[in-house]
Amino acid sequence: MKIYVVNGPNINMLGIREPNIYGTETYGYLVSLINNKAKEMNIDVEIYQSNIEGELVNIIQKAYFEKADGIIINPAGYTHTSVAILDALKAVTLPIIEVHISNIDNRDDFRKISLTSIACVKTIIGHGLNGYTEALE
């Protein structure tokens, strides 16, 4: 089984950006957490992060063309704004789980709207970095 993990803008700034919201663990720690859980579950993972919307669209399409079994995505700030990412997720017809480290329902009003969740079979919010391992399970 092969899963693509796709992270949007500023996820690379974990541990630096608003630690009161996102915690103090780094992006490197997140990558290790995902890799360790995937190894335990015998899942092949490809982990990506980009701050650029078009690159995220390309990665989503790559998951389709490389015959991934599913996608775990944290679109970050693009969650609330990107029709392009939503369209890419809908186009690939793969099972997709959306993950948000923080509880977007308890934040700014604009963060309560997730365009990308329309294409997802499940959304995990507010479980911190463990949301990624839950998504793998």
Q: Known catalytic residues?
A: 22, 100
* E strand or H helix at 124: strand 122-125
CB 101 within 8 A of CB 29: no
Distances in Å between the alpha carbon of 83 and those of 34, 78, 80? Answer: 27, 9, 9
User: How far, CA to CA in Å, does 56 sit from each of 21, 127, 137?
Assistant: 24, 23, 23
CB 113 within 8 A of CB 90: no
3-class DSSP assignment, residue 115: coil
